[in-house]
């Protein structure tokens, strides 16, 4: 199963699909059409129909994820039945707390895919880790289905994770640093593609966003969730290596290959001692960002 690479995933309310174009124009690598928190309870049915109509029209310009309602609510089933189709990249499921939750959605997706003549397993699944129970089981949840993608640790101001764990949010993100780091280890061990962190809610504080994005990139995440189109450019910038960085990777690979041709397993390069492990890291980065 191929996973479209994303640096930025922009939330768009499910009852405002016309805003998707703004996100695409802003450079978002993908969008999340939200049928959960962004839609008032009385508007769920109309939003579901709007999202289904959007997905059934011209193929979207970017990957589309739909966040359905939680599994405690019958609306989740209605959401899945309405939105599954060839234009859907992934389903995001909130507040997942058990492997059984993942298996339920996995089975439902398989049935719906088969009914529509789609490849079974082709739609990704994003179990959202928003509670202490979910975070504690990140590795098991990630491994529960090969559909898993775009998972990550969250640090949202005033959000579900803060309420569940009881921490006090700060702009520096220190209170969730260990959490986000441990979740990333769990996801890497489970071979989850394209781990994505989040979320910065202040639409005016772009410097704070940049610092938080850099922190997540430093931990090893490959992208971030975005709450507003103005956040997209900053996130994309942080999660894209500069040309100078890629040039340095290419030079490192060349130096290591030259050394290997001479029978040396390590060589001094730019003041550092490098070996094949470092060259392989550089090759992988080049393969993604300078194919």
Please check whether residues 133 and 251 belong to one and the same domain. no
pLDDT in tens, 51-65: 999 999 878 899 999
Position 102 in a domain: yes
CATH no. for residue 58? 3.20.20.60
Report the Cα 23 to chain-centroid distance in Å: 16
Query: What gap in Å lies between CA 208 and CA 199, rounded to an integer?
Result: 11
Residue ranges for the known binding site are 67, 130, 160
Please check whether residues 48 and 142 belong to one and the same domain. yes
Q: Per-residue b/e over 179-214, b at no fewer than 16 CB within 10 Å? A: bbbbbbebbeebebbbbbbbbbeeeeeeeebbbbbe
Please check whether residues 272 and 192 belong to one and the same domain. no
Please check whether residues 260 and 158 belong to one and the same domain. no
Query: What gap in Å lies between CA 260 and CA 208, rounded to an integer?
Result: 44
pLDDT < 50 positions in the chain? none
Looking at residue 200, its pLDDT comes to 97
Residue 282 lies in domain: 244-289
Position 36 in a domain: yes
Looking at residue 2, its pLDDT comes to 84
Residue ranges for the known binding site for Mg(2+) are 130, 160
Q: What is the pTM of this model?
A: 0.94
Please check whether residues 222 and 91 belong to one and the same domain. yes
Position 154 in a domain: yes
pLDDT in tens, 83-133: 999 999 999 999 999 999 999 999 999 999 999 999 999 999 999 999 999
Please check whether residues 148 and 48 belong to one and the same domain. yes
β-pair type (196-197, 30-34): unpaired
Residue 65: Cβ within 10 Å count: 25
Token readout for 33 is 């059409």
Position 215 in a domain: yes
Looking at residue 58, its pLDDT comes to 78
Q: How many domains does the chain have?
A: 2
Token readout for 156 is 């949202």
Q: What is the DSSP string of the chain?
A: ------SEEEEEETT-GGGHHHHHHHT-SEEEEESSTTS-GGGHHHHHHHHHHHHHSSPPSS-EEEE---TTSTHHHHHHHHH-STT--EEEETT--SHHHHHHHHHHHHHHHHHTTPPTT-SEEEE---SHHHHHTHHHHHHT-TTB-S---B--TTSHHHHHH-----TT-HHHHHHHHHHHHHHHHTT-SS-EEB----SS-HHHHHHHHHHHHHHT--EEEESSHHHHHHHHHHTS--HHHHHHHHHHHHHHHHHHHTT-SEEEETTEEEEHHHHHHHHHHHHHH--
Position 2 in a domain: no
Looking at residue 59, its pLDDT comes to 84
Residue ranges for the known binding site for substrate are 67, 130
Position 1 in a domain: no
Position 257 in a domain: yes
Please check whether residues 186 and 268 belong to one and the same domain. no
Looking at residue 248, its pLDDT comes to 98
Sign of CA dihedral 103, 108, 109, 113: positive
Residue 199 preceded by cis peptide, ω within 30: yes
Please check whether residues 272 and 208 belong to one and the same domain. no
213 phi and psi angles, rounded to 5 deg: -65, -40
Contacts of 15 (CB under 8 A, 6+ apart): 38, 39, 43, 46, 47, 50
Please check whether residues 94 and 222 belong to one and the same domain. yes
Token readout for 291 is 């194919």
Closest CA to 16 of 229, 209, 234: 229
Please check whether residues 167 and 81 belong to one and the same domain. yes
Please check whether residues 159 and 266 belong to one and the same domain. no
Looking at residue 256, its pLDDT comes to 97
Looking at residue 155, its pLDDT comes to 86
Cα–Cα distances in angstroms (integers) from residue 69 to residues 73, 100, 198, in the given order:
7, 17, 19
Please check whether residues 203 and 255 belong to one and the same domain. no
Position 96 in a domain: yes
Closest CA to 183 of 210, 154, 158, 161: 154
Where a domain ends, among 223, 240, 257? Answer: 240
């Amino acid at each position: 199963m191929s996973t479209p690479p994303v640096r930025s995933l922009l939330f768009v309310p499910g009852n405002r699909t016309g805003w998707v174009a703004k996100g695409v124009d802003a450079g978002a690598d993908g969008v999340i059409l939200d049928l959960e928190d962004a839609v008032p309870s009385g508007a769920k049915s109309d939003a579901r129909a709007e999202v289904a109509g959007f997905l059934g029209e011209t193929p979207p310009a970017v990957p589309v994820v739909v966040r359905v309602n939680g599994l405690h609510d019958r609306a989740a089933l209605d959401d899945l039945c309405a939105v599954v189709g060839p234009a859907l990249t992934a389903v995001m499921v909130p507040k997942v707390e058990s492997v059984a939750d993942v298996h339920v959605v996995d089975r439902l997706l398989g049935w719906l895919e088969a009914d529509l003549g789609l490849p079974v397993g082709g739609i990704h699944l994003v179990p959202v880790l928003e509670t202490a129970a979910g975070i504690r089981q990140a590795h098991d949840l990630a491994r529960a289905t090969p559909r898993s993608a775009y998972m990550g640790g969250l640090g949202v101001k005033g959000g579900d994770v803060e309420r569940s764990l009881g921490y006090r949010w700060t702009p520096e993100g220190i209170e969730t640093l260990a959490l986000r780091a441990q979740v990333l280890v769990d996801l890497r061990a489970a071979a989850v593609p394209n781990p994505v962190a989040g979320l910065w809610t202040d639409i005016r504080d772009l410097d704070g966003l940049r610092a938080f994005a850099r922190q997540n990139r430093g931990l090893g995440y490959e992208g971030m969730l975005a709450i507003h189109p103005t956040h997209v450019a900053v996130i994309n910038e942080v999660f894209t290596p500069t040309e100078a960085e890629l040039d340095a990777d290419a030079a490192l690979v060349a130096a290591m290959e030259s050394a290997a041709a001479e029978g040396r397993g390590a060589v001094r390069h730019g003041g550092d001692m490098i070996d094949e492990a470092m060259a392989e890291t550089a090759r992988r980065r080049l393969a993604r960002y300078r194919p």
